[in-house]
Structure 1
Amino acid sequence: MTPDQIDARKARAFAAAVAAGRDLGLTVTDATVIYDVFSVVVHLAPSPVVVRVPTVLPSYSDPGFQSARQRLELDVVAWLAEQGHPVIPPSPLVPREPVRRDGFSMTFWQFVELDNGVEPDYAHNAGLVADLHAALREYPGELPFLSAAEPRFVSEGLAVLEGRPDLLEPADLDRARREWEVLEPVISSRAAFEAAFPGIEFQPIHGDAPAANIVSAADGELYSDFELTTLGPVEWDLAALGPECEAAYNTAAERQGLRQLDEGVLRVVNAVGMSRAVACLALAPQLPLLVEALKPAVEQWRTMPFAGGLAD
């Protein structure tokens, strides 16, 4: 997409968010876009409401798929808020459900003034992830197994990249496809995962690098962005964060009475995370900044053990 096309997409998402907010009875006179990468995030000022409008999506993300994922996120976060856990909650000013408008599916959240001057401390945040896991263990709802791995996204992304050597070199694509043949069966089936890693328990997890999705607000640190919440091994939430964060998590987990991270599972979830990063290049036509943004990840992936050692 050209810069003009991306700006037009943002303008359509912004207009849809404003119109949806007004339809729900909110006063919206000074709306502003506060974020625009995979989603356009709009503050419906002066109402204390933020709307998240996903705009960069895989081909299979139809309205039903989006609404189901968003409804699950709203349910989990609302439950955490009701238990008193520090999250950015759904807005209490509108019904707690996804809204369809002008081809977009959006969710409404409480506006929180963030302190953007605070540098993220991922090791510190990794310790907070153990606290989040302790809280999520009590979540009573049903969750799909490791849906955050998005196996269809990876498979279809690699298929798209087959015709795009400008985005991924053929040798890299060959490795990615062979690696995915090993990884995909294990993370697509709970039974297969249990067979590969007997004794590893599953629980509700955040699903999307929670240490990178903890924000600083006036009232303290808040967990955010639960779009990929799923059932899985806790290691998934530590993927790609490195030894310092893993050690911080283990220290906090011991305090919470949770198990320590398993090295074998970590190697595999790191490999799956890299497969997702490589497949994400297929979204570059929708979001051209991904080409440069993902270069460090691809370079790191080339140095990592094949399939996290699962093929040994």
Structure 2
Amino acid sequence: MTPAVAAAVSVAEEHGIRVLDPVVLNDSFNLRVHLRPAPVVARVPTVTALGRARPADALRRELDVVSYLHGQGVPVVPPSDLLPAGPHLRDGVALSFWKHVEHDPGHRMSPETAGRALAGLHEALRGFPGELPYLGPVLDEPLRLLDLAPLREVARDRNVDVVIGVVHTTPQARYNYSVDLPADGSAPIYYAKWHFAPGAPFRHGDELLFAGDHVGLANCMDLNFPAPIRDYARAGARLMAVPAADEFGNGRQHSRMGLLRGVETGLSVAWAAQWGTPMISDPWGRVLAERDTEGTRKPFVMAFADVPSGPGPTVYARFGDWFAWLCLAMAAAGLVALRSVPRQPGRGVGGQGAVLQDAAGQEEPARG
């Protein structure tokens, strides 16, 4: 029994479904398993899971859409009503459950019949209350289906997560990703960069994603800004893995900006610069390892070190720019207080002049 089939059987049995003879109906882009003798089919994304950062999200949308169509009387195979349809997650496997419908393998539907059925389906979907993103998530899948097998093999063999930076271009948009290849061989995790130079033709990300429990993913210019790094500290990160492009001439300066952002938020930083200065720093600003790529065109350089976990979010990470706002508030309060103090009579330039004149008019004491 494969891990995917075992996961489907395990979840079904936990919900009271008696499974004696699981039969694989189809194993292509998705695995479909009839959980005999129950009239339940488990659907497990396999190849499609490699192209989606969160396969369960696609399963949830599919269940919502089909449930709506079934309620509208459209002839679709509905989700199972014998157990929660899902999506479920078990041992890294996402899956959903559907009603098993007997069919005639020899039956062939004419193009005209299929076309009319498809048109009716689209017409019924006009009233769907949920979100239906344009071609989503298909536009994002080509990058996720790239052949990352060699690096994934390295991650599995050495039992370490591998994080790389990738620029991906589609006809509609460009993306800059930090991609985590997990040590356990599970599906890659794709973090989309948040910040770009003005006018850069990239689509901005807005999610926090982790490589493991406490390693946050970011990308290059993201460390020029308080967010998302401050948000990562609050969310439990202790180390930031940061692929960066940088440039010759300012790479070291940019790596130090990343270092200071780590000190500011209480995080260690692993800065993997394509050019410039690959660097590893601890949360107190000490450089544990670095390599200078200036003036060299070697295929790669390495910086490695034992990295301590950060202590957690600093006061700044917890409360933000409170000290700056406090200073501004105190300065404003001081100005208001000065304006409210009344002037005292007899003081100032006129009073001083009268005193000087009186002193000058005094008679000089006799000598001798």
With the length of structure 1 as denominator, give the TM-score of the two structures: 0.45
* More helix per residue: 1
- Indicate the structure (1 or 2) with the bigger Cα radius of gyration: 2
Which structure has more relative contact order (CA 8 Å, sep 6+)? It is 1
* More strand per residue: 2
